[in-house]
Amino acid sequence: MFKKALSLVLALTMAFSACMIFASCQGEGDLKGMSESPLPAPELTVDFEVKDDFKIGFIFLHDENSTYDKNFINAAESVKALLGLTDEQVLMKKNIPESNDCYEAAVDLANKGCDVIFADSFGHEQFMLQAAKEFPNVQFCHATGNSAHTANQPNFHNAFASIYEGRYLAGIAAGLKLNEMIEAGKITAEQAVMGYVGAFTYAEVISGLTSFYLGAKSVCPSVTMKVQFTGSWYDEGLEKEAAEALLSKNCVLISQHADSMGAPTACEVKGVPNVSYNGSTYTACPETFIVSSAINWAPYLLHIIKCANTDTAIEADWCGGIAEGSVVLSGINLDVAAEGTEQAIKDAIAGFKAGTLHVFDVSKDNFITVDGEKLTEYMADVDYDEAYTPDTQVIKDGYFAESEFRSAPYFSIKIDGIEFLNSKT
Amino acid sequence: MKKEKKSVKTAENTLPSAVKKTERELPFYVVKRGDAEQTFGRAALIRASAIVIALLLCGIATIFVTGDNPISIYATMFKGAFGDAHNLWKTLQDLAILLCVSLAVTPAFKMRFWNTGAEGQVLISALATAMCMFYFGGAVPTPVLMLIMVAGSVLAGVIWAVIPAIFKAFWGTNETLFTLMMNYVAIQLVEVFLKVADKSGSNTVGPSLLKHGWFPELFGQKYLLNILIVAVLTVLVYIYLKYSKHGYEISVVGESENTARYIGVNVKKVIIRTMVVSGALCGVAGLLLVAGTSHSIDSNLVGGRGFTAIMVSWLAKFNPLMMVLTTLLLVFLNRGSAEVTTKFGLNTAYSEILTGVILFFIIGCEFFIQYKIVANRSHKLFKKKGGSENV
């Protein structure tokens, strides 16, 4: 009896002290070192009336526990609040796998009277298309897909954002950090090696990692990058391992395109600067987080709701950019980022807005080369087919026109300076 | 006080166990009910009250979470499962598929062959169906394609089921582990097919790639054919188990292998033959899933039905007709609670919690059907206060 009581007391003491430790950690983590975002989510304005019987349905692959889906769910919630929609008008189905369940969920939402149905994951596409054929009066919108512009189905739509521009901006912050390290004598110019944890060897990931690299290269010409793929969109253990493997190969800065906290946490433990994705990881990693880019889906959701309520056709393929507010950045961690980062990012944003700056600029010397040669032409598989037949010339006016011929990324070239350590398809 | 305690402790250690027992006597006994007591009416009453208590508990929990009244929650559940024509058809369709898998595991379970591999047997049949649709679709006329699909899926299911059966029959391997491991082999084979057939990077081979060999719609209902096929199978399996010689042999082997051997039953043959039947039924389930339902395949297509089927089969005491009811219950819970989470914006885990609570009560009530709890009159709890202090 005494032993039991003692162990209980001990356990309670430990639990209490653990709480105290966590509480004190939280206290130190106030957002003191964060700047205002150089590219915040814009205030959206509503210039239309929402019909009383309007309904929108959402299909999410996971729930809030995935940063990917959380980004969509937050956008849906913000638009719901903006328009003052009721719970009956916004139906959300979470944890819908990329299978026939998606089709059933879409049919169920259509039967419940939804005017617009939105699905958030790549693998949902075929099932959304299948449902779209059965409900011609309902609009089916699908994020990240690539077949709407060739599907010939007027009520089926794709959307994406020019997130490669956001990655480029984040890359500038990374390049300036490398410059700071070189100037401080911590590394030589040749040792400016970045590490990148990617999910799969797909165009979406390659487009993102290349634009991140180019952003860094635009300010730090000697930079190189090593890429480790995990083969999963969400696997905390694998992403942590991949980050650690990159660190052991002398990478001095890490970024990632995968949805867990694996890579940022590994960086925080080792004290290595990290450029994040899908939202700030500052609270968890205050000593290493620099900046994060993300897609803001709210403008697109508002756009499709407006179309549905004003009887306007939705584009088959919609790509939001910086101007639309679809690409956003978090604040910059002033404790970690190099001096002048904020200004450099703002200058680049101005360049994008003016149309003078292009991420995949093939005309610049020593910028984008493949086997030492400049890119002059490239046929991409824009109109999706099973054999990946290249069908469209995507280099024009001296730059690779990513996301201009369709919203989903199609830049999948391995350029000089980037080394793939493995491959996961 | 302290001294007293110590002395009790040493006394306890030296006393014979019988004395110790009286000290720790429980206030209640568990007594097995006699056969006369296990009437159908009583069992039905116990089961019904278990469901009512479970629903009340779920209702109370939901009030705390949503703040809504429980009646509207039950109404939502009912609406989700049977509310409109689409929901009703979908419920019947889910019922048909789960029932088909349950029918498949039942003969083996009746034989006490613990087949935990229905998941893999259905999945491999689904894979065979999908591969037929993918490679032969468009190349051969639809009726021929259908025949190839049926043959392919049934054959795949049989192969997946009969391998563990042969090992069990001839070398006495553990069928539970063997069938379970076969599931993972099936999953990996599907993964390989996904990589080969779909290069876009989605984790599914979907309807746009499997365009041919879809089950036809009957009277404008695309799931009607599935439902009819499973209805016929249910009756057939019922007759097979209850009235055929095979069915009798299965139950004898299940009761005692030695008895079976003594009366001249070839146990090896029965084990293998029964698993062939099981595998073939799994093959039909795989066929219905791909050609009749999803027109797509991914590694999670079966979605745990191979394991849920075990519960369906057990709850119905291996009676195929009773299984219609137990399947209906599970499908109703599944679809009803999914509707609750959508309507009230809850996490999907909540619907699984509700289902879990209800199943806990339903499985738990089987205990009370077989046993009863009797008060122990000699326990201190039932004695007067003065008396208890003396102990």
Gap from B78 CA to chain A (nearest CA, Å): 15
**One domain, residues B144 and B66:** no
**One domain, residues B184 and B160:** yes
Q: What is the pLDDT of residue B82?
A: 85
Angle at A275 between CA A272 and CA A280, to 5 degrees: 115
**Which positions 70-109 of B are in contact with A (Cβ < 8 Å)?**
84, 86-87, 90
Is the Cβ of A415 closer than 8 Å to some Cβ of chain B? no
- Taking an 8 Å cut-off on Cβ atoms, the answer to whether B204 and A99 are in contact is yes
Read off the pLDDT of each residue in A136-165 and give the average, rounded to a whole number.
90
**One domain, residues B195 and B329:** no
Pick from B195, B298, B345: which is nearest to A99 by CB? B298
**One domain, residues B235 and B151:** yes
Last residue of a domain, one of B283, B315, B347: B315
CA–CA distances in Å: residue A238 to residues A52, A258, A294: 47, 10, 22
- Give the three-class secondary structure for B28: strand
- Report if residue B22 sits inside a domain: no
**One domain, residues B300 and B331:** no
pLDDT of A401 > 90? The answer is: no
Pick from B294, B341, B347: which is nearest to A99 by CB? B294
Which class does domain A56-161+297-320 fall in?
A: alpha beta
Q: What is the pLDDT of residue B24?
A: 67
Phi, psi of B289 (to 5 degrees): -65, -45
Substitution target from B342, B344, B346, B353 for chain A, most A beta carbons within 10 A: B342
- Report if residue B391 sits inside a domain: no
- Report if residue B21 sits inside a domain: no
Q: Which residues of A touch B296 (CB under 8 A)?
A: 99-100, 126-127
Gap from A302 CA to chain B (nearest CA, Å): 21
- Report if residue B368 sits inside a domain: yes
Residues B96 and B226 sit within 8 Å (Cβ to Cβ): yes
- Report if residue B14 sits inside a domain: no
Is the Cβ of B206 closer than 8 Å to some Cβ of chain A? yes
- Report if residue B135 sits inside a domain: yes
Which class does domain A163-296+325-420 fall in?
A: alpha beta
DSSP state of B137: B
**B236 contacts: CB under 8 Å, gap ≥ 6:** none
Substitution target from B97, B208, B290, B352 for chain A, most A beta carbons within 10 A: B208
Written in H, E and C, the secondary structure of chain A is CHHHHHHHHHHHHHHHHHHHHHHHHHHHCCCCCECCCCCCCCCCCCCCCCCCCCCEEEECCCCCCCHHHHHHHHHHHHHHHHHCCCCCCEEEECCCCCCHHHHHHHHHHHHCCCCEEEECCHHHHHHHHHHHHHCCCCEEEEECCCCHHHHCCCCEEEEEECHHHHHHHHHHHHHHHHHHHHHCCCCCHHHCEEEEEECCCCHHHHHHHHHHHHHHHHHCCCCEEEEEECCCCCCHHHHHHHHHHHHHCCCCEEEEECCCCHHHHHHHHHCCCEEEECCCCCCCCCCCEEEEEEECCHHHHHHHHHHHHCCCCCCCEEEECCCCCCEEECCCECCCCCCCHHHHHHHHHHHHHHCCCCCCECCCCCCCEECCEECCCCEECCCCCCCCCCCEECEECCEECCCCCCCCCCCCCCCCCEEECCCCC
The model's pLDDT over A310-362, given as tens digits with 9 standing for 90+, comes to: 988 888 889 888 888 899 998 899 889 888 899 999 999 999 988 888 888 88
Q: Find the helix or strand (DSSP H, E) in which B100 lies.
A: helix B85-110
**One domain, residues B92 and B73:** no
**One domain, residues B55 and B132:** no
Q: Give the tokens for residue A180.
A: 């700071």
Gap from A183 CA to chain B (nearest CA, Å): 42
Q: What's the domain range around B170? A: 86-315
Is the Cβ of B300 closer than 8 Å to some Cβ of chain A? yes
CA B94 to chain CA centroid, nearest Å? 13
Provide long-range contacts, Cβ within 8 A and 24+ apart, for A22-28.
A28/A286
More reliable by pLDDT, A1 or A80:
A80
Q: What is the pLDDT of residue B152?
A: 93
Q: Which amino acid is at A61?
A: L
The model's pLDDT over A20-43, given as tens digits with 9 standing for 90+, comes to: 544 444 444 455 578 888 888 888
Q: For CATH 3.40.50.2300, list the domain ranges present in chain A.
A: 56-161+297-320, 163-296+325-420
Q: Which residues of A touch B199 (CB under 8 A)?
A: 386, 388, 425
**One domain, residues B73 and B98:** no
- Given a cut of 50, the residues of chain B with pLDDT beneath it are 1-15, 17-19, 386-391
- Report if residue B221 sits inside a domain: yes
Burial class (CB in 10 A: 0-12, 13-18, 19+), A124: buried
Last residue of a domain, one of B315, B338, B369: B315
Residues A304 and A139 sit within 8 Å (Cβ to Cβ): yes
**One domain, residues B225 and B91:** yes
Q: What is the pLDDT of residue B222?
A: 79
- Taking an 8 Å cut-off on Cβ atoms, the answer to whether A384 and B90 are in contact is no
Q: What is the rounded average pLDDT for all residues in chain A?
A: 86
- Report if residue B278 sits inside a domain: yes
Is the Cβ of B220 closer than 8 Å to some Cβ of chain A? no
Is the Cβ of B334 closer than 8 Å to some Cβ of chain A? no
Q: What is the pLDDT of residue B203?
A: 74
Read off the pLDDT of each residue in A249-275 and give the average, rounded to a whole number.
90
Last residue of a domain, one of B289, B315, B341: B315
- Give the three-class secondary structure for B51: helix
pLDDT of A62 > 90? The answer is: no
**Which positions 65-94 of A are in contact with B (Cβ < 8 Å)?**
87, 91-94
- Taking an 8 Å cut-off on Cβ atoms, the answer to whether A126 and B296 are in contact is yes
- Taking an 8 Å cut-off on Cβ atoms, the answer to whether B84 and A111 are in contact is yes
Is the Cβ of B209 closer than 8 Å to some Cβ of chain A? yes
**One domain, residues B62 and B184:** no
Substitution target from A2, A102, A124, A126 for chain B, most B beta carbons within 10 A: A126
Distance, CA of A23 to CA of A38 (rounded, Å): 31
Quote the number of domains for chain B: 2
Gap from B105 CA to chain A (nearest CA, Å): 24
Residues A272 and A246 sit within 8 Å (Cβ to Cβ): no
Q: Which residues of A touch B295 (CB under 8 A)?
A: 100, 130
Query: What is the chain B residue with the closest CA to A201?
Result: B201
**One domain, residues B218 and B73:** no
- Taking an 8 Å cut-off on Cβ atoms, the answer to whether A99 and B342 are in contact is no
Pick from B199, B203, B293: which is nearest to A123 by CB? B203
Is the Cβ of B347 closer than 8 Å to some Cβ of chain A? yes
Q: Give the tokens for residue B327.
A: 């399947």
**B368 contacts: CB under 8 Å, gap ≥ 6:** B46, B50
CA–CA distances in Å: residue A152 to residues A132, A149, A157, B59: 11, 7, 10, 47
Closest Cα to residue B95, out of B249, B341, B309?
A: B309
Q: What is the pLDDT of residue A136?
A: 93
Distance, CA of A379 to CA of A392 (rounded, Å): 5
**One domain, residues B269 and B361:** no
Question: What DSSP letter does each residue of B311-337 carry, written as one string?
Answer: HHHHHTTT-HHHHHHHHHHHHHHHHHH
Q: Grade residue A232 by pLDDT with cuts at 50, 70 and 90.
A: confident
Q: What is the pLDDT of residue B12?
A: 45
* Full-model pTM: 0.78
Gap from B88 CA to chain A (nearest CA, Å): 12
